[in-house]
Structure 1
Amino acid sequence: MRIDILQGDVTTRTVDAVVNAANSSLLGGGGVDGAIHRGAGVELLEACRELRRTQLPGGLPVGAAVATPAFRLPARWVIHTVGPNRHAGQTDPALLASCFRESLKVAAGLGARSIAFPAISAGIYGWDARQVADVAFDAVRRFSVREAADSPLELVEFVLFSEETTAVFRTVFGS
């Protein structure tokens, strides 16, 4: 499995699945979540409302992941995951690791060959970019060791908005 680290806008990536750093309501928000909802169009909001009406009436739990079509984005699917919010006392790195692990599992289950991640929980949710990168790398490595034979995933991209976060991820990943 190849890992690429890019600076840019995750909503522009032509991959099978793009990961949304969503909030538990799945109804849009700021940052990556807002950008993905704007890029995908109103159909994404309707798909998320349907998930809330049917499968997730209480919202998506922290660390879980669920997929919808990507609609107007260049990706095929959006995989929504709710990262832990450090400001709300959610400081367990296992919750953060679960976001990456569950997103990879959902992508593999969809038959995705490529996936693009933002820096889940970095920024407004208060996690240090270095810790996010460490957790992300470990989750991808563990997934590739345990699931690689059964997974179609060939490419994992980390698409990071700022120069600083990109530099941190490149340092951690050694690229």
Structure 2
Amino acid sequence: MTTRISIIAAVTRDGGLGHKGNLLYRISDDMKHFKAVTMGKPIIMGRKTFESFPNGALPGRRNIVVTSNASYNAPGIEIATSLNEAINMTATSDEAMIIGGGEIYRQAMPHASRIYLTQIDADAPDADTRFPEIDATQWDVTQQSEAATDPRSGVNYRFVTLDRK
């Protein structure tokens, strides 16, 4: 069995992911979508992404944290010292989810066969974490939701699934 490596991210038009360790937008439907897509699957993230979670490890998922500090420890997580090691740890899973941050996304792009993208219809010039550029010649849009508006922030967004050609 080959594990599908998938990336999930909420990204602005200009590639913004976050600012000072926080998401740029907290869109309720995006949070629900993230939970639905990742539940029951191993999730792979960098240490800074893990440390941005207010309640620690995400329940219902195997939490794998990539860090160069092999002695790093927190309740409910497993440690990998490289992305390749983290991917190898998921070899018996149908799908492993890469959930951030920017450097982990960059390293994961060559491994990924699917991207679950929340496209946020806004620019984020102050973002200090960015998503890697998606080469449109390598990806097909296989699903796309209607545009919606987040009632709290007023920002427009849509869910898009990309599969590698």
Give your verdict on TM over 0.5: no
Structure number having the greater helix percentage = 1
Structure number having the greater strand percentage = 2
TM-score range relative to shorter protein: 0.3 to 0.5
> TM-score, length-normalised on structure 2?
0.37
